[in-house]
Amino acid sequence: MGARLDVILSPTEALPPCEVWLVVDVLRATTTMTVFFECGGKKMLPVESVEEGLALKKSLGSGWLLMGERKGLPPQGFDLGNSPLEAANACVSRYEGAIMTTTNGTRALLAAASTGAPVLIASARNAFAAVDAALSSGSSIGILCAGRLGRVSLDDSACAGALVDIALEKEPKILFSDGARIAHSVWHSYGKNMEEALKDASHAHFLLGLGFGDDIRLACQLGVSASVPKLAFISGRWTVLL
Amino acid sequence: MGARLDVILSPTEALPPCEVWLVVDVLRATTTMTVFFECGGKKMLPVESVEEGLALKKSLGSGWLLMGERKGLPPQGFDLGNSPLEAANACVSRYEGAIMTTTNGTRALLAAASTGAPVLIASARNAFAAVDAALSSGSSIGILCAGRLGRVSLDDSACAGALVDIALEKEPKILFSDGARIAHSVWHSYGKNMEEALKDASHAHFLLGLGFGDDIRLACQLGVSASVPKLAFISGRWTVLL
């Protein structure tokens, strides 16, 4: 049987069975994770709440970075925001790891993990490497878009469309779901250009208003990274590592 | 303030505040409803379950048609399926009205109704008239796609994109949400042609397999109808009428 590719555009939908997940939150969680590992980060612990993040940092100590956002900004007591630029500038390789909580992305990761299938972190930056890794892991691939505040987002739909496009190049007979066709339509309608798509994305406008234009530029760089972090269940905790 | 247009692509998302709703289930509930009223149907009572439909038919009597589907086919004891072709051939104007239950569409209608804002029935057939009616009813328009089995569907996304396109022609300064931009991308990527979009839609393939090709052809006819049914709360019950 040939390969199948599904895209789940809305984070509120029940997850169908898949052999491997690519989770996308291009603005900014999965982009930040991609950059963190590009820059030598060792491991990352995704947690659901700010309180859990603060408690974990207290117990793990100063060898760990506490990263994340609520309403786009780092909560009080956090070392870094959910920012690929800050991750790139923080010498993350000096740390044992990072704890991370975000509004949309880390929750989508944990939802995908709960299905029991392998979960890979995908972004525009690692798009080619992530599709390669997914195609090597299974013939039924699900791309889960984190979306924004429980809604379908243009930024993640466009990035998912880029992944669909790459998968189609590598596996011309791959079968698409409706969600995959919609994402593919979005990607092509913006000329296969993340910057064009993000000009129309409400989340990008919100981040620009907070001064995160450099993060958006990093999020738009297609295929510049070979880093494909994945989730693993280690010592009773979901952990992101290479 | 200018007009705003949101498209809710997934039936699982929480509904945002809007001044008026256009509900789309192009395959087939809202297409069937459009045709029912085109053909002189007087009123329609949407109900959530097959059991509720059967009980209501029993109490209302033989002057009422019982219509609908589960897994695409009319449940036992129903007079008609959820079929625009059957509605067109049934001399519906002779009846007092119809009771209808479908898997996706009637549920989306009732969800939109629960917000308290006016709800209009939209399909490709009544696309121009439905957009006109919505723009006359409020400056904040929500298009709710019924989708399929709790998932985003290509057929409803494409039809929503057609409605977005028409709204943009009539109100060039209308503001779009991410969902509206995604739907618009889908519509344009299929050459603004419902038949082309439906060739790729999983729900269309399912219906073709059941022999409903004529229903699909009726669903694809863009702008042929001026009938825009709406929901009203009458005698303690949601009722669709013109």
Distance CA A153, CA A16 (A): 20
Substitution target from B104, B178, B198 for chain A, most A beta carbons within 10 A = B178
Residue among B9, B150, B178 minimizing CB distance to A202: B178
pLDDT at A2: 81
Residues of A with CB under 8 A from a CB of B: 8-10, 12-14, 148, 150-155, 157, 176-179, 181-182, 184-186, 188-190, 200-203
Contacts of B200 in chain A (CB under 8 A): 176, 178, 181
Q: Is the pLDDT of residue B1 over 70?
A: no
**Contact flag A189-B190 (C-beta cutoff 8 Å):** no
Lowest mean pLDDT among A105-109, A122-126, B48-52: A105-109
A152·B185 Cβ contact <8 A: no
Which residues in chain A are closer than 8 Å to B13, comparing Cβ atoms?
10, 12, 150-152
Residue B107: pLDDT band (50, 70, 90) is confident
pLDDT at A190: 98
- Tally of CB atoms within 10 A around A140: 18
CA distance B45 to A3: 43
Tens-place pLDDT, residues A21-74: 999 999 999 999 999 999 999 999 999 999 999 999 999 999 999 999 999 999
Contact A9 B185 (CB under 8 A): no
For residue B232, pLDDT over 80 is answered with yes
Q: Which chain A residues contact residue B203 at CB under 8 A?
A: 178
Strands B140-145 and B20-24: parallel
d(CA A6, CA A142): 5
Q: Which of A14, A182, A190 sits opposite B150 (nearest CB)?
A: A14
Output the pLDDT for position A220: 98
Query: pLDDT digits over A132-150, tens only?
Result: 999 999 999 999 999 999 9
Helix pair angle (A154-170, A127-137), 10° resolution: 60
- Give B80's DSSP letter: B
Phi, psi of A141 (to 5 degrees): -105, 130
Residue labelled with tokens 């097959």: B50
The reported pLDDT for the residue numbered A52 is 96
Segment A165-176, tens digit of pLDDT: 999 999 999 999
Mutate to test the interface with A, among B152, B177, B190, B207 (most CBs of A within 10 A): B152
CA angle B56, B71, A152 (to 5 degrees): 100
- CB-based contacts of A142: which residues, under 8 Å, 6+ apart? A6, A7, A8, A15, A16, A18, A20, A21, A22, A112, A117
Q: Which chain A positions have a beta carbon within 8 Å of B153's beta carbon? A: 178
- Give the mean pLDDT of chain A: 96
Note the pLDDT of residue A1.
62
Sign of dihedral through CA atoms A140, A222, A121, A136?
positive
- Give B110-161 pLDDT, tens digit per residue: 999 999 999 999 999 999 999 999 999 999 999 999 999 999 999 999 999 9
Contact A9/B10, CB-based, under 8 Å? yes
Look up residue B109 and give its two tokens: 């209608």
pLDDT at B15 over 80: yes
CB contact under 8 A, A13 and B9: no
Look at residue B106 in the predicted model and tell me its pLDDT.
87
Numbered residues of chain B with Cβ closer than 8 Å to any chain A Cβ: 8-10, 12-14, 148, 150-155, 157, 176-179, 181-182, 184-186, 188-190, 200-203
pLDDT for residue B54: 97
- Which stretches of A79-214 are assigned E, i.e. beta strand? 97-101, 119-122, 140-145, 175-176
Question: pLDDT tens across B166-188, in order?
Answer: 999 999 999 999 999 999 999 99
**From the CA of A32, how many Å to the nearest CA of chain B?**
22
Confidence of residue B2 (pLDDT cuts 50, 70, 90): confident
B10 and A14 in contact by Cβ < 8 A? no
**What pLDDT does residue A106 have?**
87
Max CA separation in chain B (angstroms) = 51
pLDDT category at B35 given cuts 50, 70, 90 is very high
Å between B85 CA and nearest CA of chain A: 25
Mean pLDDT computed over every residue of chain B: 96
Alpha-carbon distance values, B192 to A14, A23, B213 (Å):
30, 31, 20
Residue with tokens 């397999």: B209
